[in-house]
Structure 1
């Protein structure tokens, strides 16, 4: 039986279970993000008792795919967590940061008295993360491994972030492939996703299932930076700590090298992004097979940018009022937490400043509010006016669009059924319709909690 325990009808909270008479395997264990009604699901009693889960496969290290793991462990899971080596490295960074932010947010809420809960508590803490990390069991791509008796799995490159994978499960001879998050053929650093594995069932993401990515507009970012520096302001770039930060820094280096933007200080204010940057550096040093041939050398870009790494809280506080035109790259990418929220609180009211959005903004996040033109946003119990310039640069996205998803699907023979997940309702429905209309395949948008047979 295949059960849809998350990312059904929404773009976060990926969690899928494969149950047989021999045991239960979970593919991804992600956090819900965005709307309050979705975030509350993180606290709901799980549909599956964590004691009954035998093994977990993690497709990649983004929070909406791995962020629930410590809660799963806290509630009784003790089995192996299988993933690629780079995913294991990045999961450690992501989970520690997630726990720290949750503990910090709870502390601030309790001190400020603005939480509805008395006391406010984190979903999990650093102790839960430390109990989770020893369960990670890294495995190389294209190697079969056992999950439970009768169920084996293999991981193949997904090209989304370093270490990201598609998961193929063989369940007593029936094969199910999970796309995880699929990358793009135009990713500046990583190779394109490979051909889809032949399978009886396909579970495919649909983040951009209803649209095609626009053609690159290099002048969009360059123009925003020039305008901001010209009026004496600072550019704040909320960026996902894993992969997006690397791509932003490479593009800033290119724009400065070609003279399209002035050479102003570039600050990276995110301990998690700095740690992830080290993992990407090692990929270049070891000539990882995941890197695209001819990819720009990240190490060169960082050296020539003279990147100012901000590791301590005091340095981050100073950046709230930088005193000179500069570029600040900080996590999180959807402005849901972390140091970027403090920077937004100080910089949004000043019309000289600019905030550059660099990727998908889920419904209910501050990033989505800014994208939709909000005139004020709420942070830490108070509203902040939005007077800074807001610029969306969608070409930084490393999610496959509708055309790329269809190309991946059709790179192998037709399955019995395609299940469309990990998208907002309109996006998932649009992709399912195209699969049905254009390919003639059975395509379904499953309901949250729905169970389907594998045979």
Structure 2
């Protein structure tokens, strides 16, 4: 499975890892087939500063030489670099499911606005090392990228470039999420994207892998188990405790999938009297728009009309910035769900500043926290966070929910691989921090008997060799 040069006289089919190596972010896979280039995913690096700086670095190949992008799903660590790529000369098609295109229509402009707001705030407060601070991309560039999208149907072959066949398979995880299978010169490779869970309350189970010579598999939870899937009980316990002492609960949540799940579970608990009917707020215009998309794509997930009716009844949507500021002036008992899930930006940071210093309150983390993010710092026991250039004391109770992830755990990853209809030539383990990726590699080798390796940044492999 080591990298080799393509043999003379044979059609080239090469994979180069431009992201998601040693980290759960920055998913970018360069595929060269018959002299043409495409990307599978085009995500933002997040977390530690050396990783974030890769977003600003010169792209490893000329963006204008890339003829297409195929997206697994809309999360920003898989799609969020698209505006920057387009601004640097990429003009090809971006292939994705219709739901992923619709989600990117919300996420990419929102990401641009947050980047612009952060740069503006840094300039006003003077805490940036760059003068003036500039956003990685702006909203006009996000809209430019959105004009390049081309919808792809589930389980229907298409050619992102001549001579390369692609197919998208349902993968659970979030609305529109897919695994991508590419075929060229008789060789097939499947990219797992992010793998969903078999018993997710919102999404349906992932489909088995397509027949493949090679599999690129994520490993976010490659060394962990989610346990007994008692998310509702976890939520009930912490919410009862905090509301009983008059506290406010801040739930940082990913706007796609997790926000909807958390709101629905809390609303159900309140409806049946297990929790007091404290005010329940969603302070994320993006998450509110995403919820409407889930209702629009009703056939692609497990939620029904009664679930959306309950959300409309119980959840108060915070729309304007003024309403958000007014919410910060309130005291508990109350519950606020707000993005982003790893505290990397957005309105939730203002809530952490407002509610974090009071020990009656709680900050409840509900998903994976990538190393180097504020969420990871809190999960690791930090009692202060740097927010908007200032240190904020965190005296509030901090709880990390164990069963809230939309990612398959180690056992579920092995089960997904095991369901493949044929043995692959090898597996590349990506999209995980080093311990998780290597733990999954070992399990693949020992339990499945398949060759597996954890590639490094910019490693390249000949898929025909």
Q: Pairwise mapping of residues 1-400 of structure 1 onto structure 2 (< 5 A)? A: 1-217=14-230, 218-284=232-298, 288=299, 290-292=300-302, 297-305=306-314, 307-400=315-408
The CA distance in 2 between the partners of 1:366 and 1:322, in whole Å, is 24
Match of 1:441 among 450, 455, 459: 450
The CA distance in 2 between the partners of 1:67 and 1:264, in whole Å, is 35
SS at match of 2:289: helix
- Offset from partner CA, 1:409-453 (integer Å, 9 cap, x none): 111211001000000000000000111111111101001001100
CA 186–233 in structure 1, closer or farther in 2 if over 3 Å, else same: same
Whether the 8 Å contact between 1:22 and 1:149 is mirrored in structure 2 is no
The CA distance in 2 between the partners of 1:449 and 1:329, in whole Å, is 38
The CA distance in 2 between the partners of 1:38 and 1:406, in whole Å, is 28
Displacement of 1:304 after TM fit? 3.4
TM-score (norm 1): 0.97
The CA distance in 1 between the partners of 2:246 and 2:401, in whole Å, is 21
Displacement of 1:118 after TM fit? 1.3
- Offset from partner CA, 1:304-354 (integer Å, 9 cap, x none): 31x111110000001112234211010000011000001101110011111
- Offset from partner CA, 1:282-310 (integer Å, 9 cap, x none): 123xxx1x223x868431321331x1111
CA 444–280 in structure 1, closer or farther in 2 if over 3 Å, else same: same
The CA distance in 1 between the partners of 2:214 and 2:234, in whole Å, is 41
The CA distance in 2 between the partners of 1:165 and 1:297, in whole Å, is 27
The CA distance in 2 between the partners of 1:301 and 1:86, in whole Å, is 23
CA 321–270 in structure 1, closer or farther in 2 if over 3 Å, else same: same
Displacement of 1:186 after TM fit? 1.1
- Offset from partner CA, 1:84-103 (integer Å, 9 cap, x none): 00000001111011000000
SS at match of 2:39: strand
TM-score (norm 2): 0.95
Whether the 8 Å contact between 2:202 and 2:257 is mirrored in structure 1 is no
The CA distance in 1 between the partners of 2:144 and 2:313, in whole Å, is 40
Whether the 8 Å contact between 1:155 and 1:165 is mirrored in structure 2 is yes
The CA distance in 2 between the partners of 1:58 and 1:297, in whole Å, is 31
The CA distance in 2 between the partners of 1:406 and 1:360, in whole Å, is 19
Whether the 8 Å contact between 1:14 and 1:422 is mirrored in structure 2 is yes
SS at match of 1:216: coil
The CA distance in 2 between the partners of 1:321 and 1:373, in whole Å, is 26
Match of 1:423 among 415, 432, 437: 432
- Offset from partner CA, 1:193-236 (integer Å, 9 cap, x none): 01110101100000000111111333322121122222221111
The CA distance in 2 between the partners of 1:20 and 1:193, in whole Å, is 28
Whether the 8 Å contact between 2:34 and 2:163 is mirrored in structure 1 is no
- Offset from partner CA, 1:59-99 (integer Å, 9 cap, x none): 10100000000000000000000000000000111101100
Whether the 8 Å contact between 1:13 and 1:32 is mirrored in structure 2 is yes
The CA distance in 1 between the partners of 2:36 and 2:360, in whole Å, is 58
Whether the 8 Å contact between 2:226 and 2:409 is mirrored in structure 1 is yes
Equivalence for 2:8: none
SS at match of 1:98: helix
Displacement of 1:22 after TM fit? 3.4
Equivalence for 2:7: none
Give aligned pairs, total: 449
Moved beyond 3 Å, runs of 4+:
294-297
Instruction: Give 5+ residue unaligned stretches, structure 2.
Output: 1-13
Whether the 8 Å contact between 1:156 and 1:166 is mirrored in structure 2 is yes
SS at match of 1:449: coil
Name the Cα RMSD after superposition.
1.2
